[in-house]
Structure 1
């Protein structure tokens, strides 16, 4: 009986450690430099396990689910465009933190491919003595300069995670709230719960590994000429490609005119560029 009890305890521990803790943040953004009254708000997930964490938009996983179900039930002709439009996100990137190797990876789609880079700038925190309470958590203040902005964070040691939303991490506890001094961006913890495992995200095209500075150059090219990124080797840049499954043409347009699809895509990208003229990282 003693051996059985030990086995059960071990299994319970394995199940506990295998679980992923999901923290839901409300993200508030003033991403349009020409209209600071346009305040966008949406939820994002920070999923944490022993080995890694992933930060991404709640709408991203909802869109992925719809896409997956649509293709399984009959293909792109069954697409509900209004539903997809309602789930458009201002958080199109994904950030993964490798806890073992202390690495942060940023991923974002530019046209047909996913671009990925390793963050090369450290977060140097100044921990202050000021404390307060946010919700149920006792929190402590910390400050840092990152991406051309000054950030103030509030972290708690009540939760055993040295992590936080976006690229923020490295404090002695979980970041409950973080905002820049201009009030353009803020991340506020709303709730948390456990999930069985990290969700599987749809991966179309190739994943292209670049340096951070090269990603910024490619992003500027994409905003200027998005159509060139829909063809093989778009952007005219030599990269390391991982995996396959590339998109050979404008799929998902319901069999419409390719020229019309390209025009709509260019207009949308340029409109998005205008609406994101005040990015979270200024440099």
Structure 2
């Protein structure tokens, strides 16, 4: 009996250590450079396990789940209503994975039909401050860093044993509870955390292309400038938005559909003229 008790205890400990923790951040963004009053707010998850962490949008996860169910049911994207998709709109279409063993950070984002992924090649050089305060239940300490064209202020806590944070941020002696840029355009605020069984696997519709960061930026600009030329050159396309009532506008003139898609992409680019990374 004693041996069985030890085995059960060992299995229980193994199960506990295999669990992951989910930290929910409220992300506040001003993505439109010409309209700073247009403030977007949504939740994002930072899932942390012993091996890695994954940062992604709550709405993106919900949206992908809706699409996955539609495809698995053999109905296709056309069966998803416009209302369903509107309810899970997100400004955070990317995901960030940090590999703890190799100390590498990988960024993934969709351009057209394909997913582009690159390894972050710029270090985060934090300047530690002795300044401390309290945010919620946590005692936090201040640190600052210049990254991707913005100056960031982070508040981290050693109460939580993770050298991690939202987006590409991490590498401090504790978990980042809050981080914001000095212009007030972007802010990540920890709201709550809880245990989960394991880190989710995000659905990746389309091909995944591994590139250098400079190539990703180049392809992104090409897509924004001329999405149709990007599609025709083999850079990937994008599906037509689902139509009300489940249709895909099959009776529409193809040239008219292409024009509408192009206008939609350009309008989206205009609304995202103040990205989180300025350089």
Indicate whether the TM-score tops 0.5. yes
Alignment correspondent of 1:271: 267
Deviation at 1:233, TM superposition (A): 2.6
Deviation at 1:251, TM superposition (A): 6.9
Q: Secondary structure at the match of 2:14?
A: helix
Q: Separation in 2 of the partners of 1:163 and 1:274?
A: 32
1:99-135 deviation line (CA, Å, top 9, x unaligned): 0000000010001110011000000011111111111
8 A Cα contact 2:157 2:175, kept in partner: yes
Structure 1 runs of 4+ aligned residues shifted over 6 Å read none
Q: 1:252 to 1:33 in 2, by over 3 A?
A: closer
8 A Cα contact 2:240 2:261, kept in partner: no
Q: Separation in 2 of the partners of 1:232 and 1:204?
A: 20
Alignment correspondent of 2:5: 5
Q: 1:267 to 1:45 in 2, by over 3 A?
A: same
Alignment correspondent of 2:245: none
Q: Separation in 2 of the partners of 1:159 and 1:250?
A: 42
Task: Please report the RMSD computed on the Cα atoms of aligned residues, expressed in angstroms.
Answer: 1.8
Q: Separation in 2 of the partners of 1:19 and 1:72?
A: 28
Deviation at 1:230, TM superposition (A): 3.6
Q: Does 1:112 align with 2:124?
A: no
Deviation at 1:232, TM superposition (A): 6.9
1:39-60 deviation line (CA, Å, top 9, x unaligned): 1111111010000001011100
1:187-245 deviation line (CA, Å, top 9, x unaligned): 0000111111222322121111111111111110010111234457317xxxxxxxxxx
How many corresponding residue pairs? 271
Q: 1:72 to 1:18 in 2, by over 3 A?
A: same
Q: Does 1:147 align with 2:143?
A: no
Q: Which runs of 5+ in 1 are unaligned?
A: 236-246
1:143-193 deviation line (CA, Å, top 9, x unaligned): 111011111000001111000000000000000000011111000000111
8 A Cα contact 1:230 1:250, kept in partner: no
Q: Separation in 2 of the partners of 1:132 and 1:250?
A: 48
Q: Separation in 1 of the partners of 2:20 and 2:232?
A: 38
Alignment correspondent of 1:228: 229
1:38-77 residue pairs with structure 2 within 5 A? 38-73=38-73, 74-77=75-78
Q: Which runs of 5+ in 2 are unaligned?
A: 243-247
Q: Separation in 2 of the partners of 1:189 and 1:233?
A: 40
1:64-119 deviation line (CA, Å, top 9, x unaligned): 11111222333334211111022111111110000000000001000111001100
Q: Mean Cα displacement is larger for which, 164-173 or 222-231?
A: 222-231
Alignment correspondent of 1:262: 258
Deviation at 1:266, TM superposition (A): 1.6
Q: Secondary structure at the match of 2:165?
A: coil
Q: Separation in 2 of the partners of 1:202 and 1:265?
A: 23
Q: Separation in 1 of the partners of 2:18 and 2:193?
A: 17
TM-score of the superposition, structure 2-length normalised?
A: 0.92
Alignment correspondent of 1:244: none
